Amino acid sequence: MTKSKTDKPQGVKYLIGSVKTLYKKLDSKICYRIRMCNWKHWKAPQNRVKNLTKLGILSWSAWKSVYLKGYAKLGYCRDVYMAVSNDRLASFGLISMLNYKC
């Protein structure tokens, strides 16, 4: 039995699956870091509330989010995640690794 050129090695489909998982994890970490950098860029609590309300978060919820301690918690905060969602990041020009075509 001869192998044709179209036969793939056995482990290729598992390798492709693990790469997709890696891309998904990297995408989530990149989006998290972008949210965290935006939060640092907004500096003052008044600016943070103003920018969150511009992005569609209720005022009382924005004030609640402003006083969370640490930038790492804010990257996963529901209000910040909704304000700077993956769809909004895509509209700003961020290309997902899963959707990237060479």
- Closest listed residue to residue 84, CA positions, set 40, 61, 62, 52: 52
| Confidence check: pLDDT of 31 > 80 | yes
| Confidence check: pLDDT of 95 > 90 | no
Q: How many angstroms separate the first and last alpha carbons of the chain? A: 36
| Confidence check: pLDDT of 78 > 60 | yes
Identify the residue with better confidence: 93 or 70.
93
Residues 6 or more apart whose CB falls under 8 angstroms from that of 65 comprise 48, 52, 57, 74, 77, 79, 80
The radius of gyration of the chain's CA atoms, rounded to the nearest angstrom, is 20
